[in-house]
Amino acid sequence: MGGGPRVSAATSLPRLAFQPILRQTTGLRTIRPRAPRPAPGPCANRAGSRPLFEFQVQATDGPARAGVLNLPHGQVRTPVFMPVGTQATVKTLTAEEVEGLGAQIILGNTYHLYLRPGHDVVQQMGGLHGFGGWKKPILTDSGGFQVFSLSDISTIGEDGVEFQSHIDGSRHLFTPERVMEIERALGADIIMAFDQCPPGQSSRELATEAYERTLRWLARCRTAFERGRADDPEPRQTLFPIVQGGIHADLRVASARGTLASGDWDGIAIGGLSVGEPKPQMHDMLDAVRPELPDRLPRYLMGVGYPDDLLEAIGRGIDMFDCVAPTRNGRNGAVWITAEGQVNIKQRRFLTDAGPLDPECGCYTCRTYTRAYLRHLFVAGEGLSMRLLSIHNLHFLVNLANQAREHILAGDYAGWSRAWLDRFAAGKAAAVKG
């Protein structure tokens, strides 16, 4: 086989200049242009007969859990990886493509959408679901991580955070109340409380200040959230709190206890990890906080999504993940291959490689194109390479979470995950040595 597209008999070449790329069991299907949707009213319960926002644990294997979370725009089977749609889009992909690769829920970014196009614009267009054409559940973060990452152009006070726009330099103030107003307008199924996210490996003093302020802000978020939804004819959003505490186990425990004592929540998030600390420290924090978390709540580990991190955290009782790495890495030529770990498609060894990117992957990219062609596209600076590599990386993580669920249900997650991690690490080491 040559170095160009790998086209099966069941797959016809696209006749349009641009055609959404979907993973289907029967090959590709063409998405016909559709008329714009009218802005929807209050959403119906698409989660079936079970109560909205209920989380049901279906099976466990040690700390690992398989469950189902019922949300207004549908059910989410866990463990689950959530692609990040920072600006109401998963970068370079359409909503149909993201759905086609198996995503059940995506994430939107409050900070970026507030600055551009503005939460009021998104609300007028039917919320994020109507604006971006994504029909399934959505989660929005609070923007806390973004404003605190802009520490050189932001000022933290008890009322909130004043920050400077990275777009035009204008000044803005995020308070717990303001963030609840913005997230309500965006209309996601799950919205996150406004928290103070300290830098990685923060001192005990700074980590204490951050988790205590996060608890005080949580009370204000809850009051504003309850006030905002008082007039809703039916529930359409739920609020998740965030556990902080840095790399200090006792502070993590204190944060979790304080969070749970402050209200009856439908889920809980763990923030402030994977921000520069060594991975064993992240694992230690998850081990420390797990006994404090009720089984009935879905657990969301924020900003974590490399393959090995995903499986390690699932084995420690985490249910939900998000990360920009799949698309960011794809745009920079980095891809995950089951037997090789993370590699860069620019490597010269791929110059005349007629094989699929990952022989064990069933995504559109791996079913259709050779390594040689993908390398050529990337080296030539073709935008298509970013799309194809992003499709693969996203499918890799979405499918990995699905595989984890299957093995939890089968009762052999511990052994399967250890074998998978050992093989992935060995492949990575061999690729580096080679």
Q: Where are the domains of the chain?
A: 55-323, 329-433
- Chain centroid to Cα 16, Å, comes to 31
- pLDDT of amino acid 37: 41
- pLDDT of amino acid 201: 86
> What kind of architecture, by CATH, is found in domain 55-323?
Alpha-Beta Barrel (3.20)
Spatial CA neighbour of 354 closest among 328, 323, 375, 327: 375
Residue 141 annotated as catalytic? yes
Are the beta carbons of 274 and 309 closer than 8 angstroms? Answer: yes
- Name the active-site residue from 309, 319, 322, 358: 322
Predicted TM-score of the model (pTM) = 0.90
Cα separation, 418 vs 428, in Å, equals: 15
- Name the active-site residue from 61, 141, 309, 319: 141
- pLDDT of amino acid 34: 40
Give pLDDT tens digits along the chain (434 positions).
445 555 443 333 333 333 444 433 333 333 334 444 444 444 446 656 679 999 999 999 999 999 999 999 999 999 999 999 999 999 999 999 999 999 999 999 999 999 999 999 999 999 999 999 999 999 999 998 888 777 677 889 999 999 999 999 999 999 999 999 999 999 999 999 999 999 888 999 999 999 999 999 999 999 999 999 998 888 899 999 999 999 999 999 999 999 999 999 999 999 999 998 999 999 999 999 999 999 999 999 999 999 999 999 999 999 999 999 999 999 999 999 999 999 999 999 999 999 999 999 999 999 999 999 999 999 999 999 999 999 999 999 999 999 999 999 999 999 999 999 999 999 988 877 76
- pLDDT of amino acid 16: 31
Q: Which residue has the tokens 């600055």?
A: 115
Residue 322 annotated as catalytic? yes
Measure the CA angle with vertex 101, ends 100 and 107; round to 5°: 95
Sheet holding 161-164, edge to edge: 154-156, 161-164, 171-174
Cα separation, 364 vs 342, in Å, equals: 19
- pLDDT of amino acid 428: 84
- pLDDT of amino acid 112: 96
